[in-house]
């Protein structure tokens, strides 16, 4: 899967929810990605983003949000 497909299939909604500070939807999408049978190679590819989003959800610190958005921008 190329970067554009990864963005469209996984990261587009994460970006949208980050920009809106929609914590409930972020929590849901992370749970979905981890439990829906997402291929390991995709999980490995976007692991840094998922970790930053998880930290943002837990601590609500803007640095984590900005880092996740920067990582996502590499896929757009």
pLDDT of 5-26, one tens digit each? 999 999 999 999 999 999 999 9
Query: Which residues constitute the domain of residue 54?
Result: 3-73
- Residue 28 pLDDT more than 90? yes
When pLDDT is averaged across residues 50-69 and rounded to a whole number, the result is 98
Q: What is the pLDDT of residue 72?
A: 98
What is the tally of structural domains in the chain?
1
Mean pLDDT of the chain: 97
Q: Nearest 10 degrees: CA dihedral of 23, 28, 48, 39? A: -170
pLDDT band at residue 1, thresholds of 50, 70 and 90?
confident
Q: Nearest 10 degrees: CA dihedral of 32, 38, 44, 45? A: -90
Whether the predicted model's global pTM rises above the 0.85 cut: yes
């Amino acid at each position: 899967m190329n970067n554009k497909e990864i963005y469209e299939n996984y990261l587009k909604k994460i970006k949208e929810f980050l920009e809106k500070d929609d914590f409930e939807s972020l929590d849901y999408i992370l749970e979905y990605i981890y439990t829906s049978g997402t291929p390991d190679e995709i999980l490995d590819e976007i692991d840094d983003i998922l970790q930053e989003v998880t930290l943002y959800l837990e601590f609500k610190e803007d640095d984590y949000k900005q880092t996740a958005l920067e990582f996502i921008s590499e896929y757009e």
